[in-house]
Amino acid sequence: MNIPAKIEVGKGKLIVKLPLTNPTGKIRVKRRGKTSNYGIPIATRKEVFKEIDYVEWQISYATDNPPVESKVEDIKLNGQVGFELTKLLCEGIKIGILSNNDIREMETFIKDIKKEDTLEENEEILREGTKYEVKGGFQKFIEKSPLFIKNNAEKGYFVEIILKHKQRAVGLQAMVYLCIYINQLKDGGGKLLMGRTARPREFGILEITSENKEIIIDIVKAFAIASCQHRNDIQSILQQVVSKCRK
């Protein structure tokens, strides 16, 4: 099951509604342990929200069949239609959260990315042998996968880029995740979520204003360095939103 995010527009703010009860979808609530630094999905209908919980959103910018709640009809990319990040960019420009300066910063960042800067093409997953052997004569190896995190603790979010082997091809695949701490989200009544469980099919509400617009800029930067393909896609999306999403 995948319950999509809903992106709405208020006065000077983007209102992003994220499902809290969909652990198998692209938006999941996770809890990060103190020692492992690894987020584990939590059953939010049973477990009380804690300060250390965050919503992990595998955010996209274009797809074949976007949900109406976050679609941008006018923006096309290789036959797909813009949504999610594209909607944040488009509406963010329209309501003036993203300034000309912000746009220029993103354009310059993307333009300056060289072949050596993109992660899919330049990173690798390594297997290192150890001296340990287990029952049956199996040698222990440790697999090391690179992972990139930009933490903006002050604004209550971080962006992760995780590299995996492609499932049906050679090479690596970069996945971009926007992670938002639960204390940044409010419920339908404007209250914080901590200290209670999620209600059936509940959404948590994130407001993006000029105060925390770096969220959008950091996701753009993450895709821009993730791979050459993503870089080119995001460059095209940015060009299109600049010309089609006027104030």
Binding stretches for ligand ADE (CB under 6 A)? 58-60, 174-176
Residue number with CB closer to ligand ADE (97 or 174)? 174
For residue 184, the minimal CB distance to ligand ADE (Å) is 19
Length of the chain, in residues: 247
Residue number with CB closer to ligand ADE (9 or 162)? 162
Residue number with CB closer to ligand ADE (29 or 85)? 85
Which residues, in sequence order, are CB contacts of 63 under 8 Å at separation 6+? 80, 81, 83
Residue number with CB closer to ligand ADE (85 or 93)? 85
For residue 60, the minimal CB distance to ligand ADE (Å) is 4
CB 233 within 8 A of CB 174: no
For residue 110, the minimal CB distance to ligand ADE (Å) is 16
Sheet strands (E) in the chain: 6-10, 13-19, 27-32, 39-41, 53-57, 62-63, 71-77, 80-83, 126-134, 138-144, 147-152, 157-165, 172-181, 203-208
For residue 69, the minimal CB distance to ligand ADE (Å) is 16
Pairing state between β 6-10 and 13-19 = antiparallel
Give the position of tokens 């072949």.
115
Around Cβ 184, how many Cβ atoms within 10 Å? 19
Residue number with CB closer to ligand ADE (98 or 159)? 159
CB under 8 A, 24+ apart: contacts of 124-133: 124/172, 125/163, 125/164, 125/165, 125/172
First to last CA, the chain: 36
Distance CA 235, CA 222 (A): 12
For residue 125, the minimal CB distance to ligand ADE (Å) is 16
Residue number with CB closer to ligand ADE (89 or 198)? 89
For residue 120, the minimal CB distance to ligand ADE (Å) is 10
When CB distances to ligand ADE are compared, the closest residue is: 60
